[in-house]
Amino acid sequence: MPSDIQCDIDLQALVDLYLAEMPARAEALRLALTGGDRAQLQRLAHRLKGSAGQYGFPALSTHAAVLERLVRDGADVNAIHGAAMTVLGLCDGIAKQHVTACHEASS
């Protein structure tokens, strides 16, 4: 899943940095989920929604928005868990791609 904005060379460095931080972002989300910290989960999902959209990952932004809404509306644990796993899956996919791209670039 390449970023939509990779054509802009100046912004490529920013996208790379964002991708490099993706595992940490996913980890924070995972912690909030397992710790049952709904306020934190909602905050992180909201931020992810904004930043993923900004960096050209619309799918991740959409699923983060779904997660944010479910948490805000007090949905049941299973629904939130499902949405969070989707978001985490997308985060991991994006982060892996970044590692592969870096590997290819250096080899």
Partner 1 sequence: MNARILIVDDDPGTRRFLSGVLSRGFVVQEACSGTESLQQAAVWQPDVVTMDVTMPEMGGLEACRLLKSAYSHVPPAVIVVSASAGSDDLYRAFESGADDFLAKPVDSLELLSRIQLHVQVRTALANMTNVAALDAASRATTTGESGARPVAASQDVAAFTLAKLAETRENETAPHLARLRDYATRLMVQLQQSMSADRPLSEEFVADVGRSCPLHDIGKVGIPASILAKPGRLTAREFDIMKRHTEVGAHVIDWTARYARTGSFLAVASDIARWHHERWDGTGYPDGLLGETIPLAARIVAVADVFEALTSPRPYRLAWSPHDARQYIETHAGVRFDPTIVKSFSQCFDTMVEIHRQYEPVVDRPMQVFVPRMAVVAAT
Interface residue list for partner 1 (CB under 8 A): 8, 10-11, 13-14, 17-18, 21, 25, 43, 46-47, 49-51, 53-56, 58, 61, 65
CA–CA distance, 95 with 24 (Å, rounded to integer) = 10
Gap between the Cα atoms of 15 and 35, Å rounded: 30
- Shorter beta-carbon distance to partner 1: residue 90 or 107: 90
What minimum distance in Å lies between the beta carbon of 104 and partner 1?
24
Task: State the CB neighbour count (10 A cutoff) for residue 11.
Answer: 15
Write down the least CB distance from residue 103 to partner 1, Å: 23
Residue (of 34, 106, 92, 102) closest to 63 by Cα position: 92
Q: What's the distance, CA 13 to chain centroid?
A: 18
81/93 with CB nearer partner 1: 93
**Is the CB of 13 or the CB of 77 nearer to partner 1?**
13
